[in-house]
Amino acid sequence: MPGPPVRCGPMNDKETKIALVTGAGSGIGRAVALELLCTGWSVALAGRRVQTLEGTAALAAKGASLCVRADVSQPDDVAGLFAAVREHFGRLDLLFNNAGTFGPGGVPFEELPYDAWRHVVATNLDGAFLCAQAAYRQMKGQDPQGGRIINNGSISAHTPRPHSAAYTATKHALTGLTKSLSLDGRPYRIACGQIDIGNAATDMTERMQTGALQANGEVVPEPVMDVADVARTVRHMAELPLEANVQFATVLATTMPFIGRG
- Give catalytic residues, as residue numbers: 167
Compute the radius of gyration of the chain from its Cα atoms. 18
CA distances from 238 to 74, 173, 235 (A): 26, 22, 5
The answer to whether 239 touches 187, Cβ cutoff 8 Å, is no
Measured over the CA atoms of residue 220, residue 225, residue 231 and residue 235, the dihedral's sign is negative
d(CA 83, CA 76): 11
H-run or E-run covering 175:
helix 165-184
For 17-147, where are the alpha helices, taking DSSP H only?
A: 27-38, 50-59, 75-89, 114-121, 127-141
The answer to whether 46 touches 84, Cβ cutoff 8 Å, is no
